[in-house]
């Protein structure tokens, strides 16, 4: 049976499991940004990007604040970026191993 901690972890990783959400994390690596900056930088519909921002915020990956009519988002913790980089390195290692297997 899955415990509460594992369920929260699964939700966290599900929130990361979308290409646009990963792009958002990459973009926010540079610091806090307004939705008015995120949408044009990533391209796409504001409604779709806002939905993904909400998923990331709900999972505890992002935090937001409102200033006037603008909403600003940032990574809740710099460790989020570390997780992203470690996952990317692990993926690169897997791809390299797969390439070597295919060559045989």
Give the model confidence (pLDDT) of 11-38 as tens digits: 999 999 999 999 999 999 999 999 999 9
Structural domain includes residue 65: yes
- The per-residue pLDDT for range 60-84, each reduced to its tens digit, is 999 999 999 999 999 999 899 998 8
Domain presence at residue 73 = yes
How far apart (Å, rounded) are the C-alpha atoms in residues 87 and 37? Answer: 26
Q: Are 71 and 64 in contact (CB under 8 A)?
A: yes
Asked whether residue 46 is assigned to any structural domain, the reply reads: yes
Q: Please report whether residue 97 resides in a domain.
A: no
Whether 99 maps to a domain, the answer reads no
> Is 12 inside a domain boundary?
yes
Q: Find the CATH number of the domain harbouring 20.
A: 1.10.10.10
95 in a structural domain: no
**Structural domains counted in the chain:** 1
Residue-wise DSSP of 58-104: HTTSEEEEEETTEEEEEES-THHHHHHHHHHHHHHHHHHHHHHHHH-
Structural domain for 59, as ranges:
4-77
CA distances from 22 to 2, 19, 29 (A): 26, 5, 11
């Amino acid at each position: 049976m899955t415990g509460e901690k594992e369920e929260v972890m699964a939700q966290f990783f599900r929130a990361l499991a979308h290409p646009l959400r990963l792009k958002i994390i990459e973009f926010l690596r540079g610091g806090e940004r307004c939705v008015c900056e995120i949408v044009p930088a990533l391209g796409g519909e504001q409604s779709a990007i806002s939905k993904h921002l909400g998923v990331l915020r709900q999972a505890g990956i992002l935090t937001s604040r409102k200033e006037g009519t603008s909403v600003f988002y940032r990574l809740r913790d710099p460790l989020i970026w570390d997780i992203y980089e470690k996952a990317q390195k692990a993926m690169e290692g897997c791809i390299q191993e797969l390439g070597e297997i295919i060559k045989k």
